[in-house]
Amino acid sequence: MRDQMLPALRKTLQDKYHEAIFDYGNVDNPVEPRSWDTYAPLGWYGTNYVGLRGRMAILSEAYSHADFKTRVQVTHDFLVEILNYAALHADEIRRLEREADRQTTLEGAGLALRPALAVTYKLGSRGVEPVVLEVMKPPDSTSVRGRVGGGRQQLLPTGELRAYRLPVNDRFVDSLTRPLPAGYYLPPAAGEIAALLRLHGIHVQRLTAEWTDTVETLVAQISWAPREFQGHHQVIIDGTWVTAPRTLPGGTHFVSTAQPLGRLVFSLLEPEGNGLARWGAFDRYLGTEFGPGGGGAVEFPVARARRAPRAPARSLP
């Protein structure tokens, strides 16, 4: 999509409609831009989430400096050409999606090499290119319009467009990787987490007898982001992985990565990433809470499986 579809759409919009489009992004300093950065590499962003499911998604936003009519027209033309491209390449898109499902399932089952996958990411650059931006300026000290809540200054648009040569950071590069496991064990009491995974369409099993095997657990150090984000103090987890035999009781949930949504399973259940643990889904199992007295070293309640269990199990509806 990044290397073929979007460049083709960009050319079509320019040649057919005389509309210049560019990769989505923002600058950290509009007065003195230093780089053009795409959206954050977080799984809860809609486009990224669809990708974790092995499907394709495109974020469409119009230039903020364009007038309303132009924004509506360009958005319409862009959407039409996305659909035209998808129809023209329908067989190839379906093939890629089927292959993604197949490869993900084989890797989780150990029938293909299990890769090391990114738990956290940083942005990577494709190089320096001209990026057309509206020139912004700080307001003068007497401007009422230039002030927002707390007295912070809001930059003012000038109406002037200028091409800045900037690094275009349009891709995600891993900053921490972990090997893909065969799956994850959740405690018997974690029924609400199993139900949440089912809402994502993920296949979950529940053991009907105990099972002993060598697993990986994380002796975790817990901390919290000091500022709330969408009503949560996000949980930050790191620590040391320990490999040891463990007897898992009947009722334990097993979530295999040998399924088409195996990448999503990994993203949601790896504790050091931006999955369910980050949003506090496991707080009650950790026995810690936000505040000066919280935190410390605890065993994270999800264990990584090296192989699928051979104990009897039933699939959750």
Q: For 25-42, how does the pLDDT look when each residue is reduced to its tens digit (9 = 90+)?
A: 999 888 899 999 999 999
Give the pLDDT confidence score for residue 138 in this predicted structure.
85
Please give the Cα distance from 268 to 260 (Å, whole number).
14
**Percent over 70 (pLDDT), the chain:** 93
Place of tokens 């989505």: 24
Place of tokens 């067989």: 91
Give the pLDDT confidence score for residue 231 in this predicted structure.
84
| 106 within 8 A of 112, measured Cβ to Cβ | yes
- ∠ CA 70-76-79, nearest 5°, is 135
The count of structural domains within the chain is 1
Confirm whether 138 is domain-assigned: no
Give the pLDDT confidence score for residue 287 in this predicted structure.
75
Closest CA to 119 of 46, 50, 173, 198: 173
| 261 within 8 A of 202, measured Cβ to Cβ | yes
CA 183 to chain centre: 19
194 three-state secondary structure: helix
Confirm whether 228 is domain-assigned: yes
Count other C-beta atoms under 10 Å from residue 209's C-beta. Answer: 13
Confirm whether 199 is domain-assigned: yes
Looking at residue 214, what DSSP letter applies?
E
Instruction: Enter the pTM of the model.
Output: 0.90
Give the pLDDT confidence score for residue 286 in this predicted structure.
83
Parent domain of 190 = 181-315
Give the pLDDT confidence score for residue 145 in this predicted structure.
52
Give the pLDDT confidence score for residue 23 in this predicted structure.
94
Listed as ranges, residues in the chain with pLDDT below 70 are 141-153, 288-296
Looking at residue 12, what DSSP letter applies?
H
| 250 within 8 A of 283, measured Cβ to Cβ | no
| Strand ranges in the chain using DSSP code E only, listed in sequence order | 36-37, 116-124, 128-137, 156-169, 171-179, 183-186, 205-207, 211-224, 235-248, 253-256, 296-299, 303-305, 313-315
Confirm whether 234 is domain-assigned: yes
Confirm whether 92 is domain-assigned: no
Give the pLDDT confidence score for residue 295 in this predicted structure.
60
